[in-house]
Amino acid sequence: MTDQILRSIAAQHGTPTYVYDLDVVTSRLERVRRAFSGFDVHYAVKANALGALLVHLRELGTGAEALTVGELERALRAGFEPQRVILGGPGHTPSLVQQALTSGVRLVSLDSLSAWALWRDTGGPETRFLIRLNPAFDPHTHQHLATAAADSKFGVPPAQALELATTIQARGQLAGFHVHAGSMLADPAVAELVVAALEPLYRRFSDLELVDFGGGFAVPDVDLEAFAEPLRAFTARHRLRALIEPGRFLVAEAGVLLTTVLHEKYGGPRDHLIADAGMADLIRPALYDAEHPLRVVAAEPLSVAAGSGSEAGSVSDTDDGLGRPLDVDGPLCENADRLARDSELGRQPAGTLLAVEAAGAYGYAMASNYVSSLRPAQVVVRDGRARLASRREVPADLWRLEEI
């Protein structure tokens, strides 16, 4: 997306606003399909559940991976065929089971023995199951993202997985096993660990048809081909159909969060730019110490859309601030409300339009109404043309579900 397009979007829709380039999503999917040739790609809906994005991916031929009733309904509303939806996650409920069965979803990843008890008593014989394995290894990522770690809440330990697989296979419903090692996986050696964890199970159950390798590939610049090589070899060796569930990799770099500098604060031990976007819009820097690149889109004050919260004033200061660290902070009364620590952005005047990059995954999906913040608008761009995909919330949306 060009800066001209981003400036136009900010002028029309105000800030904060999320903007997603669907052409980038297309190119990322093409890269995944080249690296994992022959694998069936199911988009992890939790990364970004925007309807326009789901429709785009469905049109490109992906399946979907859903975790909740809401995600399942979103996927079906976007036109995904139920047989192209995998139901996963650790929190299956009777209502989710019933909705999946009614909708025609037939492939389920089991995260626990008690989840199997729920499906065993409720599900139909046509449902097929993957068993999610907890392989108990270090996936070399942030501790909050290390779903393969032994102390992770996800998956079934190998001994329990073997016992559960024997039970489900006896009922003719075992499709295979599932390992999702974690998120922001940058070390291709993790793929070798996944294969090592799965190998004894597929030797024991030699007639299985599927393997699900999950997703979690880091952005940017991960070596997808190096990840794919041992997984392809494993799949060929056991004559399996392979599934992968990328989310972040497909959408993160397609998205930016537009935000406007409201105030400058100079003269203390740190310089601060106070922006109109913060942890209610993008919580990842506060939650994971995630680093998102920031850049200036327009240095001149913009005439932004009414109601964007971007009326700005500036306090001049004669201190040049040379050598002083700069933080880009959000507008909330929280010290953790920050977009960037020790930013190299430099001092910027109030009214400057900034782009927080690589914000297409787990940005709006994790946004909140904390301090009655209004969640941002969402805009999609395709072939250089922008359209509103989700309007900005207005105050009435905050109490729309309340009864007084």
347-349-353-355 Cα dihedral, nearest 10 degrees: 10
Per residue in 155-170, pLDDT (tens digit) is: 899 999 999 999 999 9
* DSSP symbols for 220-279: TT--HHHHHHHHHHHHHHTT-EEEE--SHHHHGGGEEEEEEEEEEE-SSSSEEEEES--T
Average pLDDT over residues 125-148: 75
| pLDDT band at residue 307 under the 50/70/90 scheme | very low
- Cβ(392)–Cβ(30) below 8 Å: no
Closest CA to 300 of 260, 263, 241, 253: 260
Q: What is the pTM of this model?
A: 0.91
CB 154 within 8 A of CB 134: yes
Question: Is the separation of the CB atoms in 191 and 227 below 8 Å?
Answer: yes
Tokens of 14: 């105000």
Q: Whats the size of the chain, residue-wise? A: 404
Both tokens of 161, joined, read 């997985």
Q: What is the DSSP letter of 217?
A: B
Which sequence spans correspond to the domains of the chain? 3-18+252-393, 22-251
Per-residue pLDDT reduced to its tens digit, 240-269:
999 999 999 999 999 999 999 999 999 889
User: Which of 192, 241, 195 is CA-nearest to residue 42?
Assistant: 241
> Which residues, in sequence order, are CB contacts of 293 under 8 Å at separation 6+?
356, 357, 358
- Establish how many alpha carbons lie within 13 A of residue 119's alpha carbon, considering only the half-sphere containing its beta carbon: 33
**303 pLDDT more than 70:** no
Which pLDDT band holds residue 221 (cuts at 50, 70, 90)? Answer: confident
* Cβ–Cβ under 8 Å, residues 183 and 248: yes
pLDDT in the model for residue 304: 47
Residue with more model confidence, 8 or 305: 8
pLDDT band at 146 (very low <50, low <70, confident <90, very high): low
How buried is 171 (Cβ within 10 angstroms: 0-12 exposed, 13-18 middle, 19+ buried)? exposed
The predicted pLDDT at position 299 comes to: 84
Closest to 351 (Cα-Cα) out of 307, 394, 304, 391: 304
The region of weakest confidence among 71-85, 139-153, 349-363 is 139-153
What is residue 135's predicted lDDT score, i.e. its pLDDT?
82
CATH for 22-251 (3.40.50.720, 3.20.20.10, 3.30.2270.10, 3.40.50.1100) = 3.20.20.10
Give the pLDDT score at 403. 92
Q: Which amino acid is at 303?
A: S
d(CA 364, CA 85): 22
The per-residue pLDDT for 1 is 86
Greatest Cα-to-Cα distance within the chain, rounded to the nearest angstrom: 78
Residues 208-214, mean pLDDT to the nearest whole number: 96
pLDDT computed for residue 138 by the predictor: 61
Active site residues: 333
CB 180 within 8 A of CB 198: no
Q: Kindly indicate whether the domain formed by 3-18+252-393 is annotated with CATH number 2.40.160.40.
A: no
What band does 122 get if pLDDT is binned at 50, 70 and 90?
confident
Query: Is the per-residue pLDDT at 401 higher than 90?
Result: yes
pLDDT at res. 329: 96
pLDDT of residue 351: 95
Tens-digit pLDDT profile for residues 95-107 = 999 999 999 999 9
Q: Which residue has the higher pLDDT, 305 or 232?
A: 232
Spatial distance between the Cα atoms of 51 and 126, rounded to a whole number of angstroms = 29
Phi-psi region of 382 (alpha: psi -120 to 50; beta: other; left: phi over 0): beta
The whole-number pLDDT of residue 201 equals 95
Assess contact for 228 and 244: CB atoms under 8 A: no
